[in-house]
Amino acid sequence: MKNTQMKEAPAKNLAFDLMRVTEAAALASARWLGKGEKEAGDKAAVDAMRLCFNSLELSGTVIIGEGEKDNAPMLYNGEKLGSGNGSEVDVAVDPVEGTNLLAFGRPNSISVVGTSPAGTMYNPGPSHYMRKLVVPNAAKSVVDIDAPVADNLKHIAKALGKDVNDLVVFVLDKPRHEQLIKSIRQAGARIQLHRDGDITGALMAVDSRSEIDVMMGTGGTPEGVLAACAIKGVGGQILARLDPQSYVEKEAILNAGIDLREILTVDNLIKGDEVFFAATGISGGSFLDGVRYTGNGAVTHSMLIRAKTGSLRYIQSFHNWDKLMKFSSVDYD
C-alpha cells in the first residue's frame, strides 16, 4: 500500500544561518583564549553575534539572553534581533558558554544559539539556576528527577544495556554538588567533573558519539533552555526544576508567580518542533574542536540541529581572511 500522507517540500534550514552567527562569535572571541580577560572575550563574541544576527531575514526576540548573572556585556532579554522581516522567533543565545574556560585557556567553551517560533520558548524570568537530569533517547522514559541517584543510575544503565559501573556522569565541579558526587560514587558509576559548561554537558549526554551517558546537578537556567533546543532535535530528555541558590533569587521567582515545584521537560521548555540550534567550538575539547588560526584564515567546527527533521550535522568550515575581510563588518584578523 502506498503512503498517501501529504508530503512537505524541503524548507529552509535556519540552522545554517545560525551557524554563521556562532562562527562569527567563536572567531572573534577565540582571539582572547587564555589571556585572562573574561569580559573582553565575551564582548567580542557579543558584538560579532549581534552584527551577524541582524543580517538575517527574521524577526527575533531574545528570551534567553546572557550577562545578567555576572554583569558581563549582554545580548539582553527582550532585545530585537534580525532584519525585522520574515518569521517571528524566540531566541536563546550564549555567545560564550564558559567565559572562564575561554579566559583561562581551558577546554569546552562554545558559542551557542537556539530559536523556536514566537511564544514557544520557556521564559524563566528571574531564575538563574535549575536542577537538571539529562539522558539520551533510550533512557528518556525511565528517569525521575525526584528519585534517589542510585535508582536513576540503575534504570539508565538497564535502558542503555550497560552496568552501572559502565556509566559516565557529567557533573559540574561545584561545592553544591558534594553530596551528589558521593551518591554517584556510592552507586558505582564513573564521573567526569567539569569546572563550567553545562550546555556542553547536556549535549554530550544526548550525543551518541560522546562517552557521557547522563548529566546531573544544578546549573544555569538559561543554559537549560538552550540545551532543550538541541535535545528537541536529537532526542533524549531533560528533567528540570528551578533551584534558586540565594534568598533573593527565590523571592524574585515567587514574586514573578513562577511555581518552584514544577517539573520541566524538554516539551515544557520548548514547545513544538520548528526548532533550530547551532553551536561552534571556541577553545576546543572533547565535544567540539576549537578555532584554529592558520595565518591567512581559520578553521571552525560546528554542530547544527533541526528538530522537525531530526537532522544533526557536524560541519568543519575553512575561513579565508583575504576574501572575508573585503565585506565583513567583523574584524577577525
Q: How far apart are CA 67 and CA 42, in angstroms?
A: 9
222 marked as part of a ligand binding site: no
174 marked as part of a ligand binding site: yes
Instruction: Record the cell numbers describing residue 172, joined without a space.
Output: 559540574
12 marked as part of a ligand binding site: no
314 marked as part of a ligand binding site: no
99 marked as part of a ligand binding site: yes
57 marked as part of a ligand binding site: no
Q: How far apart are CA 212 and CA 196, in angstroms?
A: 15
Contact 275, 114 (CB under 8 A): yes
DSSP-assigned letters across all residues of 218-247: EEEHHHHHHHHHHHHHH--EEEEEE--SSH
> What residues pair up with 281 in beta bridges, in sequence order?
110
295 marked as part of a ligand binding site: no
313 marked as part of a ligand binding site: no
79 marked as part of a ligand binding site: no
Cα dihedral across residues 139, 142, 144, 150: positive or negative: negative
223 marked as part of a ligand binding site: yes
Closest residue by Cα to residue 57 from 12, 113, 93? 12
42 marked as part of a ligand binding site: yes
175 marked as part of a ligand binding site: yes
Contact 74, 65 (CB under 8 A): yes
| 48: phi then psi, degrees, rounded to nearest 5 | -65, -40
Contact 242, 127 (CB under 8 A): yes
98 marked as part of a ligand binding site: yes
State the binding site.
Answer: 42, 66, 94, 97-99, 129, 174-176, 196-198, 220, 223
Bind-site residues for Mn(2+): 42, 66, 94, 97, 223
Residues that constitute the known binding site for substrate: 97-99, 129, 174-176, 196-198, 220
